[in-house]
Structure 1
């Protein structure tokens, strides 16, 4: 069983060793500020998940009720295709997709990126599960997992060519925490992983263990 933590750590180590301080400094500073993120508003185990209607990668509307009609639901949020840690996490879930399907669970990724970006993500990783656009993070906001990045990061994003206003269709400079939730068929949240530090991600194997306990 391949864990994603070593891959995440390797990317961060490479960043720490190779990226110039002028770029690394603002990123590390903003990441450190995530320790102040107010986690009290994050949806909790036992609460009812708000319903949603979101567009998939080809612009079709997908609603939560239809997804839950098939069985339990796993939602995993990611910041965008531009984020290397998100790419590792999403690819990790894809490697286990047959196990999720065997357990009768629908896996769904959610991001603020517009359908063009979600299609890129789907094709890039040959995803066999839907990627949905949460425009302006409206759904993520209901779950308490939205972070407004500091303005000091904007020049850094420009240097990397990450045009979030174009990718997301708004200039809020907000992204979701990389949260993952297990929702049962009645819409009740059974497990939540919502770590503000975006370098840390839940292991797909851990989520599969959640499902075993449903």
Structure 2
């Protein structure tokens, strides 16, 4: 329990050190094209022509219990979201192998994008770099970001959620630097 409290302190401390503010409700969503975990090419503009909305969520990795819980909640309510005309996309810096671990843990059947070069994370202003002390603390608890993300730059996203309407506007934003706070499925569904 003491180790968990120390890890929570390090994780929360690192989250308060970065300056990202995320995009705001009413702003135009940055467009992107990427390939998901199933090899499907996703283009935001094309998705918005086909669907009423896109739910875009950023998560840190399969090692994060808060991310896994949120992804599981979204999966459990996926029919509610898709029934309202939404297409759900997860964005993460983790490798394809680790995305597969996330899918195994959460049973996520929605699209997940490996944002290897952080273009989407940067466009939505959710990216930040962990400081060396936090990276060391993570390693002590078995979280190896180098292995998980396939690089050594230690960049993660704020676990943010956006709902983008057909016009490309952000109609819902949940951006909270406290990684433990996530958008509820109810609030996401109400925004669609």
TM over 0.5: yes
Aligned to 1:191: 172
**TM norm structure 1:** 0.81
Which among 89, 114, 128 is matched to residue 147 of structure 1?
128
Cα distance, 1:27 vs structure 2: 4.3
Structure 1 residue 129 corresponds to structure 2 residue 110: yes
Cα distance, 1:200 vs structure 2: 0.9
Change (3 A) 1:117 1:33: closer
1:39-58 equivalences in 2 (<5 Å):
39-40=20-21, 42-58=22-38
Whole-Å separation in 1 of the counterparts to 2:6 and 2:115: 30
Whole-Å separation in 1 of the counterparts to 2:6 and 2:104: 33
The answer for unaligned runs of 5 or more in structure 2 is none
Q: Which structure shows the bigger proportion of residues in helix conformation?
A: 1
Which among 167, 171, 192 is matched to residue 148 of structure 2?
167
Structure 1 residue 113 corresponds to structure 2 residue 94: yes
Secondary structure of the corresponding residue to residue 173 of structure 2 = strand
| 8 A Cα contact 2:68 2:105, kept in partner | no
Cα distance, 1:87 vs structure 2: 0.4
**TM norm structure 2:** 0.90
| 8 A Cα contact 2:7 2:141, kept in partner | no
Cα distance, 1:197 vs structure 2: 0.4
| 8 A Cα contact 1:78 1:177, kept in partner | yes
Aligned to 2:2: 19
Give RMSD over aligned pairs: 1.9
Whole-Å separation in 2 of the counterparts to 1:62 and 1:162: 30
Change (3 A) 1:89 1:151: same
Cα distance, 1:39 vs structure 2: 4.5
Aligned to 1:31: 12
Change (3 A) 1:166 1:87: same
| 8 A Cα contact 2:7 2:138, kept in partner | no
Moved more, 131-140 or 50-59: 50-59
Change (3 A) 1:161 1:25: closer
Secondary structure of the corresponding residue to residue 136 of structure 1 = coil
Aligned to 1:80: 61
Q: Whose Rg is larger? A: 1
Change (3 A) 1:36 1:124: closer
Cα distance, 1:59 vs structure 2: 4.1
Cα distance, 1:100 vs structure 2: 0.7
The answer for unaligned runs of 5 or more in structure 1 is 1-17
> How many pairs were matched up?
191
